[in-house]
Structure 1
């Protein structure tokens, strides 16, 4: 390996980087083919070559690093794009991409992240699907802090620096839905609405809502494609963007009201941003509820209903704590409607998530979590019903009952029927007996029997989940 390094030192930076890339392709490709199972791992000497000649972290501090010019860096990005596009074996592509951009915890990681952001941004611009698929896997396996950094680069490139190129990012969903699913998860982790700067830009919000409204199943792609038993990396992104999008929908009325308050305090109003986004958040809230219903089907098919909590109770607790703090910041007299809207959305999401098995918790846990929140009628109804426990008996899909109490019969009593209300002395009639002739009226035809009707045929509890999102 020392001979290869000495050879690379005599080359210009671009040529040396190309040579290292092709060396990786040969060594890892042959190792993958011979191993048959499991991804091959780069040896330490090859990792050193990658860091020194692609990411320009010198092995010897006494040797000045060879820096690429902007033109050379662009040429290297084009070489990488061409390589990943032309490589026909997806396994080899994934191994090479991981070898290049897996973070090692050393000083080369900053260079890796800079190169990765530029490569993925270029792949979006020229629609290089193989790179986007590799980037989706990288987002799934990397720590959320690095994923958020990549998301920020892409948002800056396509929403801030060059807004006219935003449609390019918007149209990438049809080319690589899996990448877009992971990107949504990353941007919801980036924009957590903790401050005015952490509120998603209107163009980004519009793009996400457009993607999810057109195909809500997009949010479940990572979960559906993940093999059973796969363990997530410690500190990684959530397996679905549902928790992040739920945070957006619930906190949006409060966050924008806080922004208006700060703007008025600073002497300039800025109300149009929140007003223009209200309908988008309403559409997003509806889509999230629809995805919960789709999720129930998937969990049932995989025999995971009641055994896999897609929404973690700890994440829900954090959201409620954030909502509580936001409510305390606002004046309830001036923001009462916004507070109730946020709580209505939270209550609906909790109700649907529990009814579909996406959230598993006890009623006591739910009441404890909601104890610091202001009163809300819908939230009180959700807390009053029993919630599936994570201990003891297995999950039952109908465990979370409907609110309406059952009736003994769907038919009203005969003695209150409006057509017979004037006959006070009329005896009680059996629902299946024929009426006797009543003088001076003409005889009545007998009742048809109701054997085909179930005692609860028209009871609301027999219907599917009937609630609609609160706007």
Structure 2
């Protein structure tokens, strides 16, 4: 951060953001304009650091002189004209800007300031952001790609808060879809890069999974009630969950998701929704995928086989869903064990909860309707129902299911008869 503050004139550092700023904007814009890129950008980023540190003394959503800050960011970070035409950045300059932003955010050690700066640049709220244009959203997507490639935790953690506040909005879904498509499907030889992101920023990975499940688990047709995760993406996701079991359950752990930060881009009177978008996390969606996949693969065998590339066979694809299912169950066991140790050491009785009765009802009803509406082999039906049975057994034994067996039993009566399911529902749980 010192590198950015060195370019900043002393008098500007002292009084830039006080009440006389309106009178000094023309001179400041002229000075930055004469500096040119990248000096002007570095200088402004240093000023932003000072500004948001001073904002600690103001109520959330009531930061001073916001319009002037937005104007300077638009003109001298993203080089979008405010009153006159600016020379557009070249592709090389855009790449340099992304590198500059990665270094700048990585150098910010104060968490609140870091997230407020990111919000000032890209907008951190689910509320519609008219000021943040498509060019800036594209810049953020490229910034995330670079952060994944170089392992920049600061940027990824900021994006995690952005996704959390977006509540699986179209912008969040488009971002994660673009990232996963680029790293898993379009560019060869970079899967190892995206696989490392779960270690670099588990929180980012968790919210990426949450948005991704919202994207794929939308109704398609009677034969394909959800869109199955593409095999290359599924391969990465299963590795994340197998190697880092708690990455899909961070919403259920004692530590809460990152707090909502009042967006720099909304009026102080705007009231955020009390709904917690990450309350259920990606687990229900991942389970829809693992449980329904045998039915969907069987009902759409020829169509899916034609769509697969040479890297994956239908058998490989099916095995990945089995691996996903096993990974989720293992995550329940791992999280329950670590949560029990944490609870014991802290003397608290709260436990992690991953699933609700509504989640179980949804997956059971989807399974029933898919079986009823399609010609599906007995083996595929057996696999799907047994995965529900395994889910119930492990989630109830680990305390991850926030309901009682008595409430689950009536739902399961709709499912085809299955010996394992009957045995588990009749089994007496340990007290």
C-alpha distance in structure 1 between counterparts of 2:27 and 2:295, whole Å: 61
Unaligned runs of 5+ in 1: 386-400, 403-460, 463-471
- Does the residue aligned with 2:190 lie in a helix, a strand or coil? helix
Unaligned runs of 5+ in 2: 1-20, 261-272
Higher relative contact order (CA 8 A, sep 6+): 2
1:96 aligns with 2:114: no
RMSD: 3.7
Whether contact under 8 Å (2:353, 2:400) holds in the other structure is yes
> Which position in structure 2 is the counterpart of 1:316?
360
> Which position in structure 2 is the counterpart of 1:79?
100
Whether contact under 8 Å (2:280, 2:355) holds in the other structure is no
Match of 2:381 among 325, 339, 364: 339
C-alpha distance in structure 1 between counterparts of 2:248 and 2:184, whole Å: 22
C-alpha change, 1:270 and 1:136, in structure 2 (3 Å) is closer
Match of 1:119 among 115, 126, 143: 143
> Which position in structure 2 is the counterpart of 1:353?
395
1:244 aligns with 2:273: no
> What is the CA distance between 1:289 and its match in structure 2?
1.6
> What is the CA distance between 1:298 and its match in structure 2?
5.0
Residue by residue, what CA displacement relative to the aligned partner does 1:333-379 show, whole Å, maximum 9, x if unpaired?
xx221111011111211222123222222456424433543333333
1:278 aligns with 2:318: yes
TM normalised by structure 1 equals 0.68
> What is the CA distance between 1:321 and its match in structure 2?
2.9
Residue by residue, what CA displacement relative to the aligned partner does 1:379-411 show, whole Å, maximum 9, x if unpaired?
3344456xxxxxxxxxxxxxxx24xxxxxxxxx
> What is the CA distance between 1:202 and its match in structure 2?
1.8
C-alpha change, 1:52 and 1:361, in structure 2 (3 Å) is same
> Which position in structure 1 is the counterpart of 2:374?
330
TM normalised by structure 2 equals 0.74
> Which position in structure 2 is the counterpart of 1:156?
181
C-alpha change, 1:339 and 1:15, in structure 2 (3 Å) is farther
> Which position in structure 1 is the counterpart of 2:12?
none
> Which position in structure 2 is the counterpart of 1:212?
241
**Higher helix fraction (1 or 2):** 2
C-alpha change, 1:255 and 1:228, in structure 2 (3 Å) is closer
- Does the residue aligned with 1:163 lie in a helix, a strand or coil? coil
Whether contact under 8 Å (1:305, 1:357) holds in the other structure is no
> What is the CA distance between 1:82 and its match in structure 2?
1.7
> Which position in structure 2 is the counterpart of 1:45?
67
1:175 aligns with 2:204: no
C-alpha change, 1:31 and 1:270, in structure 2 (3 Å) is closer
C-alpha change, 1:233 and 1:139, in structure 2 (3 Å) is farther
**Segment of structure 1 superposing worse, 179-188 or 48-57:** 48-57
Match of 2:210 among 185, 190, 194: 185
- Does the residue aligned with 1:144 lie in a helix, a strand or coil? coil
Whether contact under 8 Å (1:5, 1:49) holds in the other structure is no
Match of 1:293 among 329, 333, 348: 333
> What is the CA distance between 1:20 and its match in structure 2?
4.1
**Segment of structure 1 superposing worse, 241-250 or 215-224:** 215-224
Whether contact under 8 Å (2:389, 2:420) holds in the other structure is yes
**Segment of structure 1 superposing worse, 322-331 or 117-126:** 322-331
